[in-house]
Structure 1
């Protein structure tokens, strides 16, 4: 397993922004970079693949995710991601950018926290055409010959594209985005857990930080995730453990301490209980 920090800089399509937009793989990727992308890798940037026509299967955090016409799959920083070989029967756009580029945009996009635990988005026919249009314009702006690549215009188009993604992400699940107070609390819960992941705060502490009772927090998390806050936090830690086991060389004891466990043996037992396999079996199954 490998991290690809800095890899986007090798394939970016702008001199000032870390951004890449490709249409049906028209822009060749260097062979050494392609080899890394085709293997499971830890993302260091945001990655989006919009499929106009066809079907493709990607792997994100050990799960196969298949998309087809009018769908998009996205990977977020720190997720384990792998892409399939190019399928000549698919028509797609690939968009990637880093945190610094995202920070330049005027809007914030709550779907990038993935509150609904889905790495896919399905577009209505009208939204699909708008997304195609924005992707087409972005691609041509970035690859126009003999013309300067206007940073402000490119950022404006990227902001519009992410707005389309954000709206479709919530609309496909009949959610009202952040206007839903329960969803806002769930997103705040996820953010609090991410911020203090290795500190392993208990449910009471997280609830207090969110100005909620433990029972109200339980209701919100259960509604949107199907599990209790404690289960969600444990599952998140186990996912982080699986990610780290794929790309780091830490010993089990070191990994346990890094994730905030005082007892490596307890960590090993919990890992087996949650994943269905021992750490040694997991490593054997997912060895490159």
Structure 2
């Protein structure tokens, strides 16, 4: 049954800021086992590397099937739930993005698509497994040794940079020609995630960043291919879709939660961006055939296109 609100699971208090463990069929047998089968979201990144078996998730209304030799990244705030798993072996890791350096965080945010599911080559599987195994060993060191946090951070950065490269290879993404533009676009994206409820116009973000509106629009367009307004709308309407799908809030309540005092304006905007009314969207059967197309996705297939 749908819940009135989507549960947020926070990263357990740990001095290291990362949780990592070998993945096996028994890794679900915890106090939180029932929670992962219900729709929820995290305040941290999750990485799953599967070197045997299969796992099916629902991530932001898409059905995603991991097969042997695949890697999945779930972003902070994405609503997801476990649907099934079979004969699994691999690694699972959760980490706070604040633990990695700013360049790694910006690259991970910029380069990985809405749903990052990648099929790996054998050499990539071995390389990532070695990194994750080393990370795990560092977290198991007790008592804490000298430079343990620094070593952990270095290994985590290595994982993140390698994942970014894998995303680029699978989606044919190239490095933006202007690193300053990339930094501005990443900063804008982060601000939109934090302030989209109260600030829905590019001018507000331009003021926060001490930029002109026209320059911000030009930079965001050059770095992402989309306008600043489009990025803002995608963030807000993405959350609207999650609430329509995973909660029992009324359309009027959802509009208010997302910062719209006039719910009729929200309904019109949702229809423009998503191609149907909120009520029609809620009634739609969201099961898709993505899970049957293999494990490599194109980012454009997983984005809401403006009508």
- Summarize deviations over 1:247-274 as a string: whole Å, max 9, x none: 5554433332332223111112222333
- C-alpha contact 1:271 1:278 (8 A) present in aligned 2: yes
**TM-score between the two structures when normalised by the length of structure 2:** 0.71
Unaligned stretches of 5+ residues in structure 2: 287-307
2:101 is aligned to 107
Change (3 A) 1:142 1:163: closer
Three-state SS of the structure 2 residue aligned to 1:114 is helix
2:9 is aligned to 5
Three-state SS of the structure 1 residue aligned to 2:233 is helix
- C-alpha contact 2:111 2:173 (8 A) present in aligned 1: no
- Summarize deviations over 1:11-44 as a string: whole Å, max 9, x none: x9x7x55643232326533365223212322223
**Which range is displaced more, 69-78 or 53-62?**
53-62
**Which range is displaced more, 169-178 or 232-241?**
169-178
Pair 1:242 & 2:241 matched: yes
State the alpha-carbon separation in 2 of the partners of residues 232 and 214 from structure 1. Answer: 14
1:196 is aligned to 195
- C-alpha contact 1:44 1:78 (8 A) present in aligned 2: yes
Unaligned stretches of 5+ residues in structure 1: none
Pair 1:257 & 2:226 matched: no
2:19 is aligned to 20
State the alpha-carbon separation in 2 of the partners of residues 226 and 175 from structure 1. Answer: 13
Three-state SS of the structure 2 residue aligned to 1:28 is helix
Q: How does 1:151-166 map to 2 (within 5 A)?
A: 153=148, 156-166=151-161
Residue 232 of structure 1, CA deviation: 1.9
Which of the residues 116, 127, 131 maps onto 1:120? 116
- C-alpha contact 2:191 2:205 (8 A) present in aligned 1: yes
2:36 is aligned to 37
- C-alpha contact 2:198 2:259 (8 A) present in aligned 1: yes
State the alpha-carbon separation in 1 of the partners of residues 208 and 127 from structure 2. Answer: 40
CA RMSD for the aligned pairs? 3.7
Q: How does 1:44-123 map to 2 (within 5 A)?
A: 44-52=43-51, 56-67=55-66, 71-88=70-87, 90-97=88-95, 99=96, 103=98, 105=99, 107-108=101-102, 109-111=104-106, 114-116=109-111, 118=113, 119-120=115-116
- Summarize deviations over 1:148-181 as a string: whole Å, max 9, x none: 4659536623541333323441553554489722
**Which range is displaced more, 122-131 or 256-265?**
122-131
State the alpha-carbon separation in 1 of the partners of residues 18 and 159 from structure 2. Answer: 18
Q: How does 1:125-274 map to 2 (within 5 A)?
A: 128-140=125-137, 142=139, 148=143, 153=148, 156-170=151-165, 172=169, 173-176=172-175, 180-248=179-247, 250-274=249-273
**TM-score between the two structures when normalised by the length of structure 1:** 0.75
Residue 3 of structure 1, CA deviation: 0.8
State the alpha-carbon separation in 2 of the partners of residues 57 and 179 from structure 1. Answer: 38
State the alpha-carbon separation in 1 of the partners of residues 100 and 282 from structure 2. Answer: 42
Change (3 A) 1:74 1:150: farther
- C-alpha contact 2:39 2:79 (8 A) present in aligned 1: yes
